[in-house]
Structure 1
């Protein structure tokens, strides 16, 4: 499974990400059930606690990225992963909403910091073919989540406190394992020299990058189309068999795992990222109306149509994530990758936080019209991709020309 030309640092980052994502898959599939059925917290309290944790957690992204740029990304990443391991293990001791919210908030702070510092590590380890490395990394991330989710199914079937506790501790152990792999296999990269005009919040003055973060956060609504919106739609508005929901999720995961490396390796530069972003939007413009049409066909046709729509949508997801890598890393200065990845992570998490409200509150409320409007939104966002990529490349070329000449 090791690609030719991969460095030791790249292999270590892939392995660490794979291990931690297995743990994430184990935990995420059963977390809400544990908090409601085992800890006996009301669902409304769980939702409120997770919302608070998510909002507070986003605040760590840029500061942690700054620390990674200043002191080295590996040190900050290891500290963040350690925080996640401790807080996750402490979830088994929850006995009140306050403790739950505090631990969930610490976990989200650690996750945001790990994302920013980890992004800087990925940038420093990219080598001669950074797009191929990032695509392969995402392939193993997806595969790890799938394996973890399948493993969680066993515990869900057992449905005991001990089973849920095992999942939580396994996730905590996955952070420990990922940290050890990173400690032993990833170099302790030294900070890169920073220009005199660099500031802690320089990223906020980079208008092309900020605009792209906004576009990507909105386009990120698509991640919850298959996991949230489509299952509700199939259950409430179609006569499709119940197994269709599980089938389309499995197919979506499979398509992403199979195609991420093949397609993602072709998206190297910001310009290529802009084109990939546009293509993703056009594919979503096709997939969303197809999903809406499942309500108008016989029961035996609905699963076939849903599968076709999900395959198209998943190919769009591969192009969209590849565009995110190419633009997110390609527009960021090398000396400030941590800061830029921190803002990128904040934007993505904000979009994911809004997704349930937008998808269930607006799209479902409008029915098939909502699906069509969602597809149009994605296409419009995608069309802006090449324009933002060109804008970003122009501003960076101008900045390079403005630098004083050196002997």
Structure 2
């Protein structure tokens, strides 16, 4: 292995040694601290300060979430055509404006319009950000994305702790400060990226490239559907388990906070370490299968918290969440690897746009599925959920093999060309 290649691998696996990687990690961390500040207290602000009924808030967020899906592929195409940094910075600027506008709303219609614009910007930013990760991450974008997720989780935790202060104060001024701090975090993140991340030139596109060609890539579409379905596991911990603990067990209320902390802690500690082991499509497929098996163990354990004494329930819940969180790390690592390695370099924005749409759609449906089906069935529902995850995971290896088989043959080293040099960082 050449010295240059070993250096590139250390840069991606061993730590964020390059300037662009450090800058992108810092920018994302700052924006996620803002997200943690806002998301934790958002529902309280809209219901107690703006005085919107919770049902109206839920309807507005649903409309916004579904409308936001429309931005994924178009924004990805813009990133492929004009460069991912330009589109990502634009989305951050739009989110700074829409977030600040929340302090001015006084009606459901205004709330829904602002929330919709915010989600359109966020979805577009996700597509462009995914393409930017592919360029900044170099030869190992999935490993870099896994390490980036560590700082995403850490940023949300820091922001959540800050939001607790505002929630305790419970005043309009405190909630307004959170919203404006989140708006400022987008602006600050954009400034960091503008100064520290190169403005990568778009890659040459082959003649057969089409703006919607990702939709004809059946293996990739199948993978996105698989990842969307497996994405139910995120809200298994964040939504389903807290409701179960509160309504069906005698566990002390602090157990809910404990499972959040454990979930975030395990992901922060293991995401980079395990994610660096998943680099090829076949490894991504096997990671999916392993994740499904771990979820098959964790889901029934969560259900059993209703059948044990109050002092045992927190221990069992934390054990289940530890197992589930390890599965989450494998699931996300496999997903990132497949998302990047199966996408053509010149169309990363378009492909990451579809990847984000699939994930967001799954998350939008998760509350209905988890609360409407699993909770309604009780213990059998938890077992069926675990079996569902195991089945989805088992489909990972064959889909990965199919997708890998249908990728174009890479060029020989003699025919390969170097990545166009980035434009100056301030451009």
Q: CA distance change for structure 1 residues 108 and 34 in 2, over 3 Å: closer, same or farther? A: same
SS at match of 1:29: helix
Structure-1 residue corresponding to 2:423: none
Aligned mates of 1:232, 1:373 — CA distance in 2: 18
Give the structure-1-normalised TM-score.
0.97
Query: Match of 2:304?
Result: 293
Residue 53 (structure 2) pairs with residue 45 (structure 1): no
Structure 1, unpaired ranges of 5+? none
Shift of 1:405: 12
Q: 1:193-342, aligned counterparts within 5 Å? A: 193-342=204-353
**Does residue 78 of the first structure (1) align with residue 89 of the second (2)?**
yes
Question: Is the partner of 2:406 in helix, strand or coil?
Answer: helix
Preserved CA contact (<8 Å) 2:227 2:335: yes
Pairing 1:16–2:27 present: yes
Looking at structure 2, the residues matched to 271 and 57 of structure 1 have their Cα atoms a distance apart, in angstroms, of 32
- Aligned pair partner of 1:370 in 365, 376, 381: 381
Partner of 2:424: none
Of the three residues 356, 359, 377, the one matched with 2:370 is: 359
C-alpha root-mean-square deviation of aligned residues, in Å? 1.7
Q: Residue 173 of structure 1 corresponds to which residue in structure 2?
A: 184
Once residues 274 and 231 of structure 1 are traced to their aligned partners in structure 2, the CA distance between those partners, rounded to angstroms, is 30
Residues 10-43 of structure 1: per-residue CA shift (max 9 Å, x gap): 1111001100000000000000110000000111
Q: Which residue in the other structure is 1:87 paired with?
A: 98
Matched, 1:138 2:145: no
Q: 1:124 aligns with which of 132, 135, 139?
A: 135
Partner of 2:360: 349
Partners of 1:47 and 1:5 in 2: how far apart? Answer: 39
> Are residues 47 and 5 of structure 1, via their aligned partners in 2, closer, same or farther at CA, if it must alter by over 3 Å?
closer
Q: Which shows bigger deviation, 7-16 or 390-399?
A: 390-399
* TM-score, length of structure 2 as denominator length: 0.92
Secondary structure in 2 matching 1:365 = helix
SS at structure 2 position matched to 1:396: coil
In structure 2, how many angstroms separate the alpha carbons of the residues matched to 1:50 and 1:130?
A: 32
Q: Does residue 77 of structure 2 align to residue 66 of structure 1? A: yes
Deviations along 1:272-317, one digit per CA (max 9) or x if unpaired, are: 1111111100000000000011111111111111110000000000
Deviations 1:209-266 (A, max 9, x none): 0001001001000001111100110111111111111111111111110111111111
Superposed counterparts of 1:21-36, under 5 Å = 21-36=32-47
